[in-house]
Structure formats: structure tokens, C-alpha cells
Amino acid sequence: MDQSENQTSNPRIAEGAKTISDLVEARLSRRGLLGGLVASGGLVMTGCVAVEDTEGAPLTEAPSSDETLFKFDEIARGLDQTHHVPDGYRADVVLRWGDPLFSDSPDFDANDQSEAKQLQQFGYNNDFLGFVPLPADETGAARGLLCVNHEYVSTLLMQPGAADDYPTSMTPDMCLTEMAAHGGSVVELKLTEAGWAPVVGSPYNRRITAHATPMTLTGPAAGSDRLKTTEDPEGLTVAGTMNNCAGGVTPWGTWLMAEENFNGNFLGTLEEGHRETENHERYSVPSGWYQWGRHFDRYNVGKEPNEPNRFGWVVEVDPKDPNSTPKKRTALGRFKHEGAESVVAPDGRVVVYMGDDQRFDYVYKFVSAGRFDADNPDANPDLLDEGTLYVARFDEDGWVEWMPLVFGEGLLTPENGFTSQADVLIETRLAADLLRATPMDRPEDVEPDARTGKVWVMLTNNNRRTEDEIDAANPRADNKFGHIIEISEPDGDFTATQSRWEILVRCGDPNVAEIGATWNPLTSDEGWYGSPDNCAIDPSGRLWVATDGNDDTGAADGIWAMETTGERRGTSKAFFRAPIGAEVCGPRFTPDGETLFVAVQHPGDGDGATFATPTTRWPDFNDAVPPRPSVVAIRKKGGGPIAS
């Protein structure tokens, strides 16, 4: 989601910052690339930096092989009102905003929305998708639980009348409808001859919302005075979750919902000199994208100054138990979580990788104290309550230093405002500032691959980075198009505190030298993109990238297949294209690799777009129905693994 465009930059970035001559030139000269880049007049046609062999040495000539790991006919770049997939594939809309989930769910009526109805229907702007397989039914049909984050609502697109004298047009009932559309959905899916379909009325189906789902705070910050409110004087229970962007599925089959831009849900002003002033400023609280604080004290920081501290966490949900209470795992830190993807390290500890999606913020990983036991499910449910949270420093010599965020160590002491581990976790960003972590260009999905020891970091963009703020891991000023970093954990040990890193690609148009894009020259004119956001590793170990902001390149957002090994390393290929105004999220493969689920959110958005005047009416294409965020299932006609 690109609401982070409204965020402030890291206020402490200037402390200890190195210049381009200190970092980039040193790194490029060390790799023997600087002369070649200057001689070529840019990075575009050489493929250098982005194209490397398995030992890390750059290839100095364009690869000659035309063999690809991805067997499909690439689609064309473009921007129109519908979606596109390659020849030989089908893309079926499986779930739309407002679709019924329960046997008593009302039919969708965009002109007659309410909180009560939305609580029974599929929510708005679907982002993260998780798939938890279930045993086949009595006919042998495949089944699974789709876990969906409903990140936010596009108020003017979603609600009739909202654009009339906004924001005073927002009534309490309209705000409650928005709260009910946030959160998440668990939906049982069944594979039929016609494709995947929701099982309406399944006992697994569930809606989780921003205001009506009780959640338990767990871990070191639970019970902190800074988490206590009028409604929860013990600081242990929160009503709901909101702004859930990406997420993850744990090795034990639970769903991790990552709370991101929670700052936008608050209004009001703190009293002068309040304890939370610096903390709120570091998280841009309040930003007031929603008008809930006009009608509900909970979302007014002047009346409930601690309420924002109860958001920005990773929430763990058991999708197989619709009566279970979700848990906010405070040990994983509080920031604008884009995702929370996990992996089991060789010693059995669980590692969760996370990005803080804001310009000049950081990459993190959490290492559990306990070990995953596949043979004893009862040993795993609370693994994320105890462990060590680390923040990354990307050094110019190609090493990542993972620095522990532990109270009492280094600068994380009472002298610097921290009195407990709870304080360190509530103010994770300020703690990371003090440790001089590397400020990144909007780190979003961070995806580990257990088979290779690689970790892929999507850096979406940062048009506020100046020449003086360039560093080795963020090598472009005014970075409108983003880049992808590959981390290599030593011997596949994801718990390591020192790792290697390289830039896989710098995104953008390779035909415009001043952009400084670095694709493998085998990338076609259709294959390059901007603003990588989410990603997935398919069952064959191949990387797929989803974008948010590719429309800045003149083409729709979509899904791209990304070569990461061999002579084609750094080659990208276009696979899916979304309708105008939409961002593509997810993506998620079924275990057999034969289905790719993608989330298409805020279709029809754009400057001046409203409920009455969207830029498309996808997917219904009915003049009486607004555009509807939807989940799409992509399958090969005739069956078989995708792109194989």
C-alpha cells in the first residue's frame, strides 16, 4: 500500500550518514565495476551489479543463454480497465468485496452498506493472502483456507455520498462500516471443475475487524502502563486490528497479520509535554486519513493517548479455530509492519523477517528462543513470545550486521529513555535509530527461502532520498522505482548475526540511462517494472514479484517472474496485469504450484476517482456497481504447475 507516501522521513537519518563517495564509490571500486560503468555511460546495458554468478562476481558480458525457468508467453505492458494473463492461462475472480461468507450473510448492495452487513461479508482492500491446506473432501476435491488481510478502505471509492463535503460527510455509521471492512477474512475454498470457489457457510469462515474482534496482547510489552486505556486498564486486551498489509503463515499453520499504517486511523492532539509526544511523532501519529476520531474517543489521541501504542504489532491467528482469540505478539516489535514471513533455522529456532514500510526505515528479523517441534504441536503456539529482535545495518563491504534490540545493552538504557524491554518494543523505531541501523527505501516484503538460505528484500521506492543520503544499500537519490536486495544467510543459518548482501536489480526503465536501472539485458521491453512490493517463492523455488506504483512507469501494476540464478539472473518477465488504479498484492501459490492467488486492491482508484466516477468498474463492469477489490486465482488451462 502506498499510503506511506504521506509519511515523514526518519528524523535521525543525518546522524552518522555517509556520502556517495564514502559508500557507493568504495563498494563499486572494490568490485572492479566503477570504470566499466563510467565507460558505458550508465548502468543500463551492462547488466552489472544486478547480474552475478553464484560466487558473487559480476558478469561483464551479456548472457548468451535464452533458456528460462519460467515457461510462459510474456504479456504486454499496458494500462486498461481489466486484468490480463498469458495465453494458455485463466484468471478467475474468486472473492469480491461484499461477497457472502456465512449462510445468513446478506446480498451485497453497495448503495445500502452498514456495519452489520459488512461483518457478514468479505472485507475491502484485500492485501496479504495465506493458504492453509485442508484434507480433500469425500469426492477428492482439494480444499484450503484462504487467509486474507483487509488492509484499509478507499473511502471515496467505497462509500456512496462520502465525497459530498468530505470529511464532514462521514457519519458514525459510515465510520463503523469502514471499521467492519478492515481486518481480515478466513474463507474455506474448494477446487471444482469450474475452478476455486468459496464454501459459503463453512464452519471455518471468519471475519476479523478493526473494532469487534477481541485480541490478547502477549510478550514483553503486555501489561505495560503505556498500553493501558480507559477500556483496558490492564493493558492486556485490544479490540481489533487494522491496516494489516502483508503477513505470513507459520510452520505450525497459523496466520500472521502485520499491522502497518495504523497512524492514519487517529485524530486529535496530545497535551503539551505528554510522555508519548516523541513516540507518536516518530510514527506520524495522528495522520487522520480516517474520520473515526470525530465520533469515537478511542481514535482521538487527546482522549486516549495510549491507544496508538496498541497497534503496529504482528497478530497471530489460528485459522482452523474460528473461536480462537488472536494474539498481538509484542516481542516482534512495533512499527509499520509490511509483512512477517517465517522460516525454521537449522537448529530449529524460528526466524521471522519483517520490513518497516516507510521511507528511511528499517529491515528486521526476530529469532525465537524456543525451537519448533513438528512432532509436538503443543510445543509451538507461543514460540513468538520469547526471543531476540534484530535490526539490520547494511555495510558497504557487502555484510549485514544484525543488531539486537535488547533493553540494557548498548544505548538502550534509561539514560536514553528506555526503562524496560516493553519500552524498547513500543518504541522500536527510536531504538533502531540509536543503533544506527541503515535507513532503507521503503522496505516491504522480506521473504526467506529455506532451501537456499536466501532472503529477498523488496524496496519499493524513495523519492525523498538526496544525493547526500545515498548509501551502498540504497544507491540512488530520488529513487522513484525501487530495487531488490538479496541477503545470503551463512550456510543457511537464518539465526546468524552477520550475513552477506547484494543488489539483485535496480528497477525502472532500462532504456533511460539517467534512471540507473540494472536489469539483465535479456529482460524484454515488457519485462521491466517499478516499485516492487510483495513477493512469493513458488514450490519450485522461483521468485515472483508484485508491484505497487508501477503505474508511474506508464503501465499497470502486476506480477513478474524473476530469475535469480545462473546466466539469466536479473531477468524479469511479465505474467499478470491488473486493471487501472489497482495495486497487486498476495501473491500465494498452492503447495502443488498449480494455482497462484493474487489480491487486487483499490481497482478504479486515481486522481478524482469516487464511488460515482471510478476509473474502472472491474470486476463486475456494471454501471450500478462500484469497483470491488477481489482475489483472483490464476491457473493453467488443462492443468499443471504454473510457468512450467
CB 211 within 8 A of CB 180: yes
Positions of the chain with pLDDT under 50: 4-64
Residues 6+ apart with CB under 8 A from 454: 448, 486, 487, 488, 489, 564
Position 378 scores a pLDDT of 85
- Looking at every residue in the chain, the average pLDDT score rounds to 91
Find how far residue 398's CA is from the centre of its chain: 25
Provide the sign of the torsion angle of the four alpha carbons 394, 395, 401, 406, taken in this order. negative
The C-alpha cell that represents 70 in the structure block: 519460467
As a whole number of angstroms, the distance between CA 232 and CA 239 comes to 9
- Would you list the domain boundaries of the chain? 3-260+312-636, 262-311
473: its cell numbers? 544499500
Sheet containing strand 595-601, edge to edge, reads: 89-96, 630-636, 595-601, 583-589
| 307 Cβ neighbours under 8 A, 6+ residues apart | 229, 266, 298, 299, 301
- What secondary structure does DSSP assign to 204-264, as a single string? T-EEE-SSSSEEEEESTTTT-GGG--SS-TTS-EEE----EEEEEE-TTS-EEEEE--GGG
SS (H, E, C) 500-543: EEEEEEECCCCCCHHHCCCCCCCCCCCCCCCCEEEEEECCCCCE
DSSP 175: H
Q: How far apart are CA 173 and CA 385, in angstroms?
A: 37
Of 241, 189, 245, 244, the closest CA to residue 211 belongs to 241
pLDDT tens, residue by residue, 295-341: 999 999 999 999 999 999 999 999 999 999 999 999 999 999 999 99
215 grid coordinates: 485480541
Distance between CA atoms of residues 443 and 523, nearest Å: 24
Spatial distance between the Cα atoms of 75 and 86, rounded to a whole number of angstroms: 6
* DSSP three-state, residue 616: coil
Structure confidence at residue 319 (pLDDT): 98
The values of phi and psi at residue 550, to 5°, are: -65, -20
pLDDT value for 58: 34
